[in-house]
Amino acid sequence: MAAFLKIFLAALCFVIAVMLMLTVLASLLNKKAETFFDEGEMLWIDRRHVWGFPISFTKYSMNNERLFVQSGLLNLVENEVRLYRVLDLQLVQSLKQRLLGLGTIVVRTSDKSLHTFELRNICHAREVKELLSEHVEEQRQKNRVSSREYMAVDTDEDDDNADDFV
């Protein structure tokens, strides 16, 4: 039994050491990665990261007016949302994401096809959220969109309140 325990503890230590090395390597690569570069008119481009490495088939990008989410390898799906339609942004970081220098931005919109979606496991998530927030406000002002346009309005078509005072 003692030999089994020694082997188990050695294997556990090995797995922890490998995970720590991958974490350090991923954080070094993320610090060197340029996420805010100009590719044409794009303000920001990144990929979903897996264990700190940008090896997935989900690509995120943003220009002055729109946010794009592209996913898939053989069957490509690209969604976009106009920035003035963004209602709320939320930053979520798990312990693993914080160790790897990543984060997830939850985006809530008034768009019909992309009501709520996530920009998962992206580098510099706090800075990206702030960049996104600034451009959302800029587009709202440019398109003269106010927050009251997003408030839920009770549209009672049968107008049964009109008969309440008879």
Q: Once rounded to an integer, what is the mean pLDDT over residues 16-34?
A: 65
**Inside any domain, residue 96:** yes
37 vs 2, higher pLDDT? 2
Range of the domain at 136: 2-147
**Inside any domain, residue 122:** yes
pLDDT at 29: 55
Above 70 in pLDDT, residue 165?
no
pLDDT at 88: 94
We report the CATH number of the domain holding residue 84 as: 2.30.29.30
Cα separation, 124 vs 136, whole angstroms: 18
92 vs 35, higher pLDDT? 92
Q: How confident is residue 35, by pLDDT bands cut at 50, 70 and 90?
A: very low
- 43-101 pLDDT, tens digit each: 999 889 888 788 888 999 999 999 999 998 888 899 999 999 999 999 999 999 999 88
**Inside any domain, residue 57:** yes
Total domains in the chain come to: 1
**Inside any domain, residue 156:** no
Three-state DSSP state, 146: coil
Q: Once rounded to an integer, what is the mean pLDDT over residues 30-52?
A: 66
166 vs 114, higher pLDDT? 114
Cα separation, 119 vs 121, whole angstroms: 7
148 vs 165, higher pLDDT? 148
pLDDT at 156: 46
- Chain centroid to CA 33: 17
Query: Are the beta carbons of 111 and 86 closer than 8 angstroms?
Result: no
Cα separation, 35 vs 123, whole angstroms: 7
pLDDT at 21: 78
Q: Which residues contact 132 (CB under 8 A, 6 or more apart)?
A: 44, 62, 67, 83, 86, 89, 105, 107
